[in-house]
A and B are shown apart, each in its own frame.
Chain A
Amino acid sequence: MKIHVSKSAINQKRTWIIVCAIVIIAALIGIWTASSLRHAKIITEVDQAYAEAKATAKAVSTSSKASRDNRLKAINKLSKAQTIVTCSGEWWSGWYDTLLPTAKAEVDDCIAKLKKLNAVSRVAARANVYLDDDAKVAKTLAVMKVATGSGNRQKTALSSVESALRDIEAMAVTGDNKVLIVASKEKLTVIITAWNALNEASSKEDKMAYQKAEGQLAQAYADLGAISDASDTQVKKLIVALQVTIHKL
């Protein structure tokens, strides 16, 4: 039995096939082009960003004229740089990076750079958190400044130390600020104890005890330097870590 297929039907099918092929080829070319552009954009941006970071870090590590505020702002900004996990494009362009060896090499290089940038950001964030806490403690301790001419200095001094201690006790303790918090609490407690001893000796009109408490009080205030020492140690540790990380850029 013979099957008769008309010529027009065959031609119609062929046309559809050609059209589909053209569409597919066009789509592939489009995706290829878009992926290529996307890949180039990411790589270029990371390269530029890395180069700029490196240049800045270099400038930073050789400049000592910036103000403290500017240093703190810089660390704060560094700490807010986003954490990057990959240099690969989106799902529709990711295949491009794996298909071409050159693209893959560029992505690998990009990832290495991002790792370093992320490390700087992470260490800067840690330093930034500590420096925030350090500034809060310093601000809290500043209430202990009692003007020489102010009335009822002794009462004001004691209440200001008690207030500072309460505020510091309310602060959250972290691994980095623990030494500072502990030193602050300890030194303030010693001052409060000495003030109380002085007041008690005064109420009892006990000259020996009063003079002893005066000496203890003077020593207790002098020992506040231990808080500065704790702060210095921690700041130095975190800044050195940041410098080391920046140096690796």
Chain B
Amino acid sequence: MCMGCSIGYGVTAGVMMLASSSTAIATNNPADYSFMRETLKQVQLPEIEQPEWLKKQLAAEAAEAAKTKKAATTMTVTYDVTTKGAVYASLSEFKLLANQTLNDSRGWARMNVKFVEVASGGMFTLVLSEASQLSSFSSGCSAEYSCRAGRYVIINQDRWMGATPSWNNAGGSLRDYRHMVVNHETGHWLGHGHSSCGGAGQLATVMQQQSIDLQGCSFNPWPLPSELWSTQLGI
């Protein structure tokens, strides 16, 4: 074989190939030569499907968090105070005790509700009323007891001053009665109806008509945990 020939023709062949192609060494950008970067751009972590156990755990935690958040949010309820008829009881004492009752840590305030007395235009009106004036609020109200009629939470002055015979006979204190009656009537405004004694010896619910009959339950001026809800406030 002719070595010289292969040398000469080899060079020609190689360079002719080079000359005939539309080469471009102008750029030294690696992406102009390598597929690596664009390939790896398409390699992504696939969406990971959460396992059932984790979904359940997270849902439980979310519910707990929502509950905590809800509980942590304090709602303000405003009310104004007025009187009806001939009122001889101390209005300032009435206002003070009513406010203490409403915001007591044993009362409706446990729903994270803060009751704030305002001069007028409250969400409800707390009325200290002469007994004979009760029926003027609603035909369902009587001179014997306290009542709630629409936005009015009406405390019967006679009951405020002397509770009820059954209460007194059972040994209940006037202060507890006052707590109870404010909580009970405000409970109606919050959306509660009447309830019955859950069983002899148990604490009465605050929405039980304790002024009339304890039904075997013991006195309780404060709402039970099961009563801590309000359709009025959406709680």
Q: Within the complex, which residue of B17, B45, B49 is in contact with A221, where a contact is CB–CB below 8 Å?
A: B45
Q: Which of B1-52 contact A (CB under 8 A)?
A: 2-4, 6-19, 21-28, 30-37, 39-40, 42-49, 51
B72 at the interface (CB under 8 A from A): no
Closest to B2 in A: A90
Closest to A247 in B: B25
**Would you call the interface of chain B mostly helix, strand, loop, or mixed?**
helix
Q: Within the complex, which residue of B2, B34, B39, B57 is in contact with A235, where a contact is CB–CB below 8 Å?
A: B34
Q: Within the complex, which residue of A42, A65, A84 is in contact with B24, where a contact is CB–CB below 8 Å?
A: A65
Q: A82-B10, A235-B33, A242-B25 are in contact. Are A142 and B15 (CB under 8 A)?
A: no
**Would you call the interface of chain A mostly helix, strand, loop, or mixed?**
helix
B88 at the interface (CB under 8 A from A): no
Q: Within the complex, which residue of A52, A77, A88, A138 is in contact with B36, where a contact is CB–CB below 8 Å?
A: A138
CB distance from B3 to the nearest CB of A (A): 6
A163 at the interface (CB under 8 A from B): no
Provide the residues of chain B in CB contact with A236, threshold 8 Å. 28, 30
CB distance from A178 to the nearest CB of B (A): 15
Provide the residues of chain A in CB contact with B119, threshold 8 Å. none
Provide the residues of chain A in CB contact with B9, threshold 8 Å. 45
Contact B19 A82 (CB under 8 A): no
Q: How far is the CA of A146 from the CA of B16 in the complex (A)?
A: 44
Closest to A135 in B: B35
Q: Which of A217, A218, A235 gathers most chain B CB within 10 Å?
A: A235
Q: Mark A140-160, 1 if CB is under 8 A from B, else 0.
A: 011011101000011011000
Q: Within the complex, which residue of B18, B27, B54 is in contact with A53, where a contact is CB–CB below 8 Å?
A: B18
CB distance from B26 to the nearest CB of A (A): 4
Provide the residues of chain A in CB contact with B2, threshold 8 Å. 90
Provide the residues of chain B in CB contact with A55, threshold 8 Å. 19
Q: How many residues of B contact A (CB 8 A)?
A: 47
A-B pairs, 3 with minimum CB distance: A81-B14, A74-B23, A82-B10
Contact A74 B18 (CB under 8 A): yes
Contact B18 A62 (CB under 8 A): no
Q: A61-B25, A63-B24, A145-B43 are in contact. Are A214 and B48 (CB under 8 A)?
A: yes
Contact B15 A66 (CB under 8 A): no
Contact B54 A210 (CB under 8 A): yes
Contact A80 B37 (CB under 8 A): no
Q: A82-B11, A217-B45, A235-B33 are in contact. Are A207 and B23 (CB under 8 A)?
A: no
Q: Which of B49-94 contact A (CB under 8 A)?
A: 49, 51, 53-54, 57
Q: Which of A72-107 contact B (CB under 8 A)?
A: 72-75, 77-78, 80-82, 84-90, 93
Q: Which of A26-76 contact B (CB under 8 A)?
A: 38, 41-42, 45-46, 48-50, 52-53, 55-57, 59-66, 68, 70-75
Q: Within the complex, which residue of B8, B15, B45, B51 is in contact with A52, where a contact is CB–CB below 8 Å?
A: B15
Contact B7 A86 (CB under 8 A): yes
Closest to B25 in A: A60
Provide the residues of chain B in CB contact with A144, threshold 8 Å. 43
Contact A66 B57 (CB under 8 A): no
Provide the residues of chain A in CB contact with B31, threshold 8 Å. 232
Provide the residues of chain B in CB contact with A231, threshold 8 Å. 30, 34, 36-37
Contact B36 A137 (CB under 8 A): yes
Q: A65-B24, A82-B13 are in contact. Are A45 and B48 (CB under 8 A)?
A: no
Closest to A140 in B: B39
Q: How far is the CA of A137 from the CA of B35 in the complex (A)?
A: 9
Q: Within the complex, which residue of B11, B21, B26, B39 is in contact with A49, where a contact is CB–CB below 8 Å?
A: B11
Contact B34 A243 (CB under 8 A): no
Closest to B37 in A: A228
A181 at the interface (CB under 8 A from B): no
Closest to A137 in B: B36
Provide the residues of chain B in CB contact with A227, threshold 8 Å. 36, 40
